Structures are given as structure tokens and as C-alpha cells.
Amino acid sequence: MELPAKYNPAETEDKWYAYWLENKFFHSEPDSREPYTIVIPPPNVTGILHMGHVLNNTLNDVLVRKARMDGKNACWVPGTDHASIATESKVVAKLKAEGISKEDLTREEFLRHAWEWKEKHGGIILSQLRKLGASCDWDRTKFTMDPDLSEAVINTFVYFYNKGYIYRGVRMVNWDPVGLTAVSDEEVIHRDTTSKFYHLRYYISDGQGNPTDKYLIIATTRPETIMADAAICINPADERYHWLRGKKVLIPLINKEIPVIEDSYVEMEFGTGCLKVTPAHDVNDYEIGIRHNLPVLDIIDDHGCLNEKAQILVGEDRFDARRKIEDMLREAGNLEKVEAYTSPVGYSERTNAVIEPRLSMQWFLKMDALAKDALESVESGKVKLIPDKYRNTYRHWMENVRDWCISRQLWWGQQIPAYYLPDGQVVVAQTPEKALELAREIMPGAVAEDLRQDEDVLDTWFSSWLWPISVFDTNKAGHPDAVPNSDLAYYYPTNDLVTGPDILFFWVARMIMAGNEFMNDVPFRNVYLTGIVRDKLGRKMSKTLGNSPDPLDLIEKYGADAVRLGMLLCSSAGSDILYDESQIEQGRNFCNKIWNAYRLVTGWNVDVNVQQPDASAVAVDWFRAKLSQAICTVEDHFSKFRISDALMTIYKLFWDDFCAWYLEAVKPAFGAGIDKETYNATIGFFDALLKMIHPVMPFITEELWQNMAVRSEGETIMNQRYPAAGEYRAELISDFAMACEAVAGVRNIRQQKNISPKEQLELRIKGEFPSGVLPVVVKLANISSVGQAEGDMSAAQRFMVSTAELFVPLDGLVDLGEELRKLEADLDYYRNFLASVRRKLSNERFTANAPEAVVAVERKKESDSLAKIESIENAINSLKNSK
């Protein structure tokens, strides 16, 4: 069989993915095996794959594939999230481009467009995940707005409402004037923003609504809201302003009279010490307003424009109004000064619009009890966060969480199952029919037409927090007393959750709450928090910067295995990933290395007449030990979620140990056959190595594993058992390491003296050197004869391996002066080293306090360096004598 010199991923990947699907290798059903479960962090249904997904899903896939090979019943549930704000705004934008305005549509018409959009673009991302090799159980694919999942969401709402956890009220909320909806506190991002600090004169009223010549100065960043001012507030302890007590002042431009009030909230040192109180448009002012019973005047509409209550600048956008009112105030003589100012401003996570604090009627879920349990789940270790530095962050959040605003003024999502009676009373029920029954208890004779359902939908996270439950059993969410179905009973709790720290609170914490509430158990045992993928310069990947490569292009160019390896190479848990295409090149190179090692091995011809050479026998024993050692290390890394360390161990095992040393040691001469024993061992090693690599690089390993032997239909490397470590002698490994050092020493001499690798050299040894590994040295260093060093070795190049001296006789090629200089430098080093070791040993406090083992090590250092010094001195003497 002829294999090309380079691995071609494109040809093999689709073939094997199709094979895996045909054979339903990814599908899982409950059985007697131990389950291993992961639910995918559901990507936005209309999203497309980006580098963050690649990292996340590669990690998920590695864990699932490893668990599967460990003999567990592995199940990775895929699906998508309806992402109400993101999707709705995409649909709105698309309609707008077609000249259709959302306002002109009925709810039903709009939803029809939205579903159309979802059918067209939904799930693209799932097919992209297939390209990456994700071994999801596609038969279990879910969508957060599937009818039964939506039903679970509604049941959950009804459940918490009846429990008294859900209430409705007018609160100051974060209003997104672009998304036209309220958003939760967690969806607001504060960024320092440069703006202006306007110092405004408010003239004191004479009591008749006319200005006197006295005035006070307030400082504000939002002059466009002055028309909504309800008072001016000073600190009662601020003597500068006691003269203002009981006075009234006039709002500039509109001459409205407002009182001066006192509240200790006001910082005397900040600004001018006078605060304008605008209850409708600032959270703190709202609180002050409640304390002082101030009227609330809302002058900004849904779109962030001034409404008619503002009296002036009606219809202007709030930022245009700010610019215009500055001029107006200046003209009117009310503008004292304007300073540059930087302050944190809230932006909408989804639309990047500046959040407008706004009063509105919203639904809330009480968080205190839920948060308390969810905190306990992490504090007690029932849920482990990896890395655990996130425990602090988590605790802080859970201890300071505020009630969750769960209503959104959108159409795309689960509509809140609250129904209003004509008199404004509300009933909450799963269906309109049930709602009507409840309504009749309040209003006998009510008919369906009397009920009006709440217009709002629920926050997306109000559905995704049920995900680990609802993907298995849609009845259990909302019904803590229900008996879980067989899937849920088997797969829940899931094992690991891999996700980004940015949704630790949005999603992870809330899933823990829902799990505790409905399952009385946490939804997962380990939460592996990845870093954020950044570019080489540390910048976040973003469309506007154009620094985000398309993963599909990368897969096409380098292969999925290369992309997977490239991502994992640089990913340790919790720290950000600085992506660079060179890492993916490295992945591709590794594929090629595996490919060519395979070509070499399978190109060998077994000759039954050939005896196993000593070098091969040693190498086989050694590599068997090395393999076991590496498996132990890899298992340890996996158990601690050190995925990139596990990967690097495997990478070096294959490249350095297997290819650079083992294969070179057993490689038959050109054209010669190989003995059966070595060949079989080599094939066995290769088989084990492929299995070890498979979770990370599924495609190439399947390709080669299938190629290695005749496989029957339905066989796959992905269902093979992961190699297990055997007993091994550590001495074998250290002896072989000495052989490698000896080989490197000889090669180094060749390099220095410009001696071709083809030219044979002699080797002489003085001191202890494991004789068992000498055949390997002879072969790899191309040695003609090896023996004890005897007599004058001054005409030889000398180097040391551990405490042994090795000589390569080189008549006429040795520069005695140069050798002498090197030896004297060595001598100097070891004498200093010895001196420091002896200083330590002569310190009684050291010998008295340090553990025996540590002292013994120091003594060994002492005797070793003494031996080295002696041999160096001898070498110097003999060199000098021969001169």
C-alpha cells in the first residue's frame, strides 16, 4: 500500500465522521455501565462558529472521547439556545432591510418571520461542530424553544409563582433603548466613558415662581434630564448650604419650582455638594425620591428620546438633546462651566446601547433562598470550580445578588403565563384554560375574552437554567415531586461542564439553583472554566477588529485535528488563550509526524530469519516502560483537568521518545528485513499511541487505526479501551536516558569536529555506565567499537555522562590547548559547586533540621563532585604530560 508523504485531512475527515454517524457511535442509551454526561453550553441558534466555540467544544469532545474509551457510557447532549434579544434584534434588522417595521406587525406575524429565520439559519452552528469532530449524540439535539422545553419553562414560572418567589412590580430597571427591553443587572457592562461635567445655576425662587439673583450650582453629567428634576438635595451636615433650607429653586429653561431637601446620601466633597434629584432617571435618585416622597416624572421614552413631559426638545434623542441643551443653558446664562469628566457608564451587553435607568413594571424572581443553596453547593465542594479561584468571585456574587428581573419586552421567547382580568387582577397558569378556571374563582362568569395575557417574554436564561434537566426530562422542571424519567434518572447529575467564566453567573449559578430546586442535587460535579480566546496581541476576538479567523477556513486549511491540537496546546484552565495560527501549524506538523511514522513502520518487511538485535531488544523494553510511565502521567493530568499538560505529555512521548529514539533504535538497515518480535512490539506501541492521541485528534487516529489491520464493519478506535499502564522498572528509563546522553555527546563531537554521521567512531568508557544500553549507543552514534578506557586518553575527545567519562579517540583532530581550557573551566565549576555543598553540610543546623533524605542527597552531591574533580584533574595531568 502506497501512502503519500503528506497527510491529507480533507479526504479522511468527512469519511470517518460519516462512518461514526452511520454506526451511531455517538448515541447513548441508559444501560448498566457508569454514565458520563456532558450537556453542551447551547450556542445561540442563529450563531456561527467562532474560536471560543472551538476551544470550548474541543475540550468537551476530548473529555467525552476519553470517558468513552475509559469504558463509560458517554453522552454529550447538543442543542441551541433561542437567545431572545440577540435573535430578535437580528430578525428586526433583517425585516428592516426588507422595509418592514416590527411595529407594523402583529405578534403572530413577527413570530412567523422569526421562526422562518430560525429554520433557515438555526443549527448552522451544529453542523459546523460536526466539522470539528464533536461526538455529540445528535439524536438528542434540543432547542430551548422546543415545545416541550418551553412547557418546562412555563411550568417553572408557575411553580415559582405559586411558591411566592415570583412577583411583579415597578422597579428601576436597566432599559436598553435599542433592544427596547429591560435587561438584567448581569447584562449591563460598565465601562469608563469620557463625558462632560456640567455645572448649572439653579436660581432661588422668590416664592412666586420668579427667580431672585441668588443661585446654587449643581454638577451633572446629564443636563438633558433637568426637566425631570424633582428636588435639589444637600447634605444636612453641610453648613455651606444651610441658607438653602426651606427654599425653592427654579429648574433652568422651564422655570419649574422644586424644593431643596436634605439627605445624607449626598457627598459634600463631590461636585458642588448640591445634587439634582431626578427620580425617574437615576437609581439613587429614585431611592431618595421614595424617602422624600417626591413625584416621579419620566421624560424619556422607550427609544431614549425626550417625550412631551420634557416640555422642551421633545422628540430629540437623549444625546442630541444633551448637546442642544448645553447651548440653550449657556444662552440662558445658567451654564457656569463645563469640565471634562470620566465616569462609568452602563452599556447593554447585547446591543451596546447606553443603558437608561428607567422605571417600569417588570417580573422578578426572588433570589435569596435560591442563592443561599447555590452558594452552599460550591462551598461544600459538591460542585467543583476549576480553577478554584472562581470560588471567591462566585461567593461574592451569591452573597450580593439582587432579585432577578425575568421579564423582557420582546416577542421571541416564552411568553409569560400571567393573565390579567379586566380589573387588573392577575392569575398565573400553564394554559389559558387553566387561567380561566382560576379567573372564575375571582370573577365568576369570566370568559376567555376577559383575559389578556402578559405581553412580555421570559429572559433567555430562565430557560437555559433548566438545560441539564430539561434536555432529558421536560416534566421534571417545575415539578420537584415528579418521578424523573429513566433518562434523567440515569444521566443526572451530569459530570463536567465546560464553559467560559463570563457566564458563570448568568448560567452556571442559575443551573445550580434550578438543580437544587427541582432535583435536590447539583446539575454537575465539575465546572471547567476556559479562558477567553484572544489574538496574539491580547485583544478580544471581534468582528470589528477583524482579528477573528473563521474556524472553518482553518479546518479546511490545516485539518480539524490540527485546529483542535493548536487550540489545546495553549489552553490552561482559567487563563486567557492567546491564539496564533502558528499553533495550528504545529498541530498540522504533528499530524504529519504521526502520518510519516506510520509510513515508516508499515513499510517494514518482516523477515523470520532475522534475530532480534540487542539494540532493538533494549529499545522495546525501554519504550514499554516509557509508555507506562507516560500513561500514568496522562491519567494524572486528566484527573486534574490539566488537558494541555496531558496533551504535551502525549506529544513528547510520540515525537521525542517514539520517533526520535525508539524508531531510530529499532529501524532496520535500508533494504533489510525486521525481526518479527520487534515488529510486533512496534505495531503494539503504535496502536497504544494512536489510542492515547485519539481524544484530541480523532480523525487521523481513526484513519491509521483502521489502516493498521483488517477491521470489520462497526469497529472503531473511539470505542477501544484507553491504554492502561503496566508495571515498569524506573531504572530502565534512567539507564536509557544515559544512553541518549552518550549518543548526544558523540553527535556533539561530530558537529564540532565536522565529522560525518556516516564515519564510524570508537568509544571508550571510564567509570560506571549501564552496559545493557550500549547497543543502542553503538547503533545511534555509529560506533565501531566500544570498550574500557585504558592508558593515555589524551588524544581523545572527552565528555561526561553522570559520573562516567566517555572518550572518542580522534587522532590528530584534538586541539590540546582547547581541551585544556575546557577542562579547567569544568574543574573550576565543580570546585565551586563542591565548596557550596560542603558549606551546607558543615552547617550543623542544616544537618540537624533537614530531613535525612535531603542530607543524603547533599552527601551524594559531595562524593559525585569529588569523583568528577578527580577525573578532571587526571585528564588535565595526562594532557599536560602528553604536550
Partner RNA sequence: GGGAGCAUAGCUCAGUUGGUUCAGAGCGUCUGCCUUACAAGCAGAGGGUCGGGGGUUCGACUCCCUCUGCUCCCACCA
User: Which of 58-66, 122-130, 216-224, 685-693 is the region at the interface with RNA (rule: CB under 7 A)?
Assistant: 216-224
Q: Binder to RNA among 145, 260, 398, 597 (CB under 7 A)?
A: 597
Q: Decide whether 238 or 320 has the Cβ nearer to RNA.
A: 238
- CA dihedral sign of residues 141, 142, 147, 151: positive
8 Å CB contact between 182 and 362: yes
Q: Does 707 bind RNA (CB under 7 A)?
A: no
Question: Which of positions 820-859 make contact with RNA (CB under 7 A)?
Answer: 830, 833, 840, 843, 845-846, 849-851, 854, 857-858
Q: Binder to RNA among 108, 239, 441, 670 (CB under 7 A)?
A: 670
CB of 153 to RNA, least distance (A): 24
x/- map, 499-528, RNA, by CB under 7 A: --xx--x-----------------------
CB of 55 to RNA, least distance (A): 13
User: Which of 12-20, 126-134, 395-403, 541-549 is the region at the interface with RNA (rule: CB under 7 A)?
Assistant: 395-403
Q: Does 372 bind RNA (CB under 7 A)?
A: no
From its phi and psi, is residue 862 left (phi > 0), alpha (psi between -120 and 50) or beta? Answer: alpha
659-681: b (≥16 Cβ within 10 Å) or e: bebbbebbbbeeeeebbeebbeb
Q: Does 25 bind RNA (CB under 7 A)?
A: no
CB of 842 to RNA, least distance (A): 10
Q: Does 645 bind RNA (CB under 7 A)?
A: yes
Question: Which of positions 280-299 make contact with RNA (CB under 7 A)?
Answer: 282-284
Q: Binder to RNA among 652, 711, 729, 880 (CB under 7 A)?
A: 652
Q: Does 276 bind RNA (CB under 7 A)?
A: yes
Q: Which residue has cell 471560543?
A: 52
Q: Decide whether 24 or 191 has the Cβ nearer to RNA.
A: 191
8 Å CB contact between 371 and 398: yes
Q: Binder to RNA among 162, 255, 751, 863 (CB under 7 A)?
A: 751
Question: Which of positions 864-883 make contact with RNA (CB under 7 A)?
Answer: 864-865, 868
8 Å CB contact between 316 and 137: no
Question: Which of positions 176-195 make contact with RNA (CB under 7 A)?
Answer: 185-186, 189-190
Q: Does 215 bind RNA (CB under 7 A)?
A: no
**How does DSSP classify residue 540?**
B
Q: Does 757 bind RNA (CB under 7 A)?
A: yes
CB of 338 to RNA, least distance (A): 14
470-480: b (≥16 Cβ within 10 Å) or e: bbbbbbbbbee
Helices first, then strands: H and E counts in the chain: 28, 29
**How does DSSP classify residue 303?**
T
CB of 437 to RNA, least distance (A): 40
User: Which of 55-63, 322-330, 861-869, 871-879 is the region at the interface with RNA (rule: CB under 7 A)?
Assistant: 861-869
CB atoms within 10 A of CB 818: 10
Q: Does 611 bind RNA (CB under 7 A)?
A: no
Rounded distance between C-alpha atoms, residue 777 and residue 665, angstroms? 9
> Nearest to residue 813, comparing CAs of 877, 754, 882?
754
Residues 6+ apart with CB under 8 A from 52: 500, 532, 533, 541
**Total residues contacting RNA (rule CB under 7 A)?**
94
Residues 6+ apart with CB under 8 A from 242: none
Q: Does 428 bind RNA (CB under 7 A)?
A: no
Rounded distance between C-alpha atoms, residue 621 and residue 601, angstroms? 18
Q: Does 550 bind RNA (CB under 7 A)?
A: no
Distances in whole angstroms, Cα of residue 328 to Cα of each of 136, 278, 322, 370, 743? 63, 20, 10, 51, 86
User: Which of 154-162, 265-273, 319-327, 375-383 is the region at the interface with RNA (rule: CB under 7 A)?
Assistant: 265-273
Q: Does 679 bind RNA (CB under 7 A)?
A: no
Rounded distance between C-alpha atoms, residue 76 and residue 648, angstroms? 25
Q: Decide whether 76 or 579 has the Cβ nearer to RNA.
A: 579
8 Å CB contact between 398 and 374: yes
CB of 238 to RNA, least distance (A): 9
